[in-house]
Amino acid sequence: MRTMLRFLPMLWPAGERELKARVIAAVLLVLAGAAVALVLPFAYKAVIAGMSGDAVAYGVVATMVLAYAGARFTGVLSDNLRNALFEKVGQNAARRLAGQVFRHIHDLSLRFHLERRTGSLTKIVERGTKSIDMMLYFLLFNIAPTFIELAAICVIFFVKFGAGLVAATLAMVAVYITFTRVVTDWRAKLQREMNDVDNKAIGRAVDSLLNYETVKYFGAEEREARRYDDAISAFTRAATRNETSLAWLNIGQALITNMMMAGAMVFTVWGWSRGRFTPGDVVLVNSLLMQLFRPLDMLGWVYRSIRQGLIDMEAMFGLLDTPAEVVDKPAAEPLRVTRGEVRFEGVRFGYEPEREILEGLDLTIPAGTSCAIVGPSGAGKSTLARLLYRFYDPTAGRIAIDGQDISDVTQRSLRSVIGIVPQDTVLFNDTIGYNIAYGRDGASQQQIQAAAKGAAIDSFIRSLPDGYESMVGERGLKLSGGEKQRVAIARTLLKNPPLLVLDEATSALDSRTEEAIQQTLDRIAESRTTIMIAHRLSTVVHADQIVVLEDGQVVERGTHDALLARGGLYAELWARQAAERSEQVTAEAAE
């Protein structure tokens, strides 16, 4: 009921007069259709009575037959007009809910997205939004008319055939509904199991395809096929159990309705044999029960569909109810950057409560200067960038930009003033032009090309057959590592932020490409507050300040020359990397 109450208001969308008018018109057509459905058996009875009683003119009977056919067409016309009118209401509800879920998923923390499988997530959203239109349609056009017709048929039976037939009809409907509900609730458990294994199969397939290159590197195609086959086999078993249970449900429903039909027909035939009822009355009872059984048969399917829809919507509403880890405060104001000073004050943070990464870190980066963050793996270098972007909030301490605590400003304004060139550049499966333009919404073609020139990738793009309209492939796999890095630099240039984060932006490149891109990075870092997270110390020797992290704390800070003279951890890391470079040069010379 909680799930149903969350989407029923979508039948009456606030501020949408046209949609409300469509709902009203659809309801009127539902009532008209129900009235026509109840008139049809009487028209059928009149035809039979006219043919089986005293001689009646052919024209009269033919007219009744035409009226009967006209009533049937009117019912079909009413149903289809109703569907056409209501379609926009259902689709609008599905659109609004899908947009709400999509926005909320983007609002959820990085932690949530790292723990969820993309394939399973998209499947939940797809099923849930598709269920909305179906649920609204069934409740308004199937369940409501069924109970209207049931009430009207009971009145007719009471007036013409007595209370006994009414009691038998209500008892049959009660047994039918109870049986349908019990069996469908059992089937719902099977359906949940089927959905779970389906989500796992989809997630496994998407995960394998996204890691296509890794699969090829290790010749694991057969291994991946076996894992996928295991997932599909589990889904096959669950689907078989589900469909078998459906067969038993249909058999039980048919047994109940046919027992009622047999009992009612025997009763009316008995009354006809005693002279109480006419042949037309026998036809009337048969037609009314058939009229009732048709939506009742649908009611079983509708109830199953509603239960399935509720399961799908329950999973989707579960996403909506997942709290965002990082949220704006009610009185949050936009961040105003005047100089660009960044301060980390007593910052403590851990991805898991029992494992703290940063332990009371203090760091000041003056406006317009460059600060390199270096240190061993796991020291917390990239964590600083994630905290600065507010992908996570510190467990203690604060981060301030120009004296403003970033937890007190809006996330949108914070992220609008920071540009990042990440270590692993992931691109949209679209054109190169689109990926560069992602840095600034509404950028012109001239601005895109200027950014590409600034990133030294314009000539490469122009050499492609489709130029800026060239597709980059999923996650940018059609481009080399250096080309993807230049695209990332270009869209950061287009964004033109006052704060710049370079998160090991050249660590995955060869020495020649690294040198070329490093020159570009040095150029765009001028006159900005720049944080350079680096593993290769040779890329940060010109930084205004080098901060050395170890075990989540600042252990050294200063310029390159000062830190080498100090002979501490930085000097040790420098000597180690110098030795590695020397060995590499010797090996290349030997080849």
Same domain? 392 vs 526: yes
Same domain? 385 vs 299: no
Same domain? 254 vs 403: no
Position 296 in a domain: yes
pLDDT at 402: 92
CATH (domain of 17): 1.20.1560.10
- 176, 480, 534 from 421: Cα distances, Å: 64, 16, 12
Same domain? 537 vs 410: yes
pLDDT at 579: 81
- Alpha-carbon gap, residue 311 to 97, rounded angstroms: 16
Same domain? 260 vs 383: no
Which residue ranges of the chain lie beneath pLDDT 70? 1, 3-4, 7-8, 40-65, 67-68, 71-72, 75, 114-120, 298-300, 304, 474-476, 505-517, 581, 583-591
Span between the terminal Cα atoms of the chain, in Å? 74
Q: What is the DSSP string of 259-314?
A: HHHHHHHHHHHHHHHTTSS-HHHHHHHHHHHHHHHHHHHHHHHHHHHHHHHHHHHH
Same domain? 539 vs 563: yes
Residue type, 154: C
Same domain? 435 vs 374: no
Same domain? 377 vs 296: no
| Number of domains composing the chain | 3
Same domain? 291 vs 234: yes
Same domain? 352 vs 209: no
- Alpha-carbon gap, residue 481 to 489, rounded angstroms: 12
pLDDT at 345: 92
Look up the domain containing 546 and give its range: 328-417+497-591
pLDDT at 355: 80
Position 422 in a domain: no
Same domain? 490 vs 509: no
Structure tokens at 589: 């010379």
* Residues 93-141: tens digit of each pLDDT: 777 887 888 888 877 777 777 666 666 677 777 777 777 777 777 777 7
Q: Which of 495, 511, 544 is the last residue of a domain?
A: 495
pTM attached to this predicted model? 0.63
Residues 6+ apart with CB under 8 A from 143: 299, 302
Residue type, 63: T
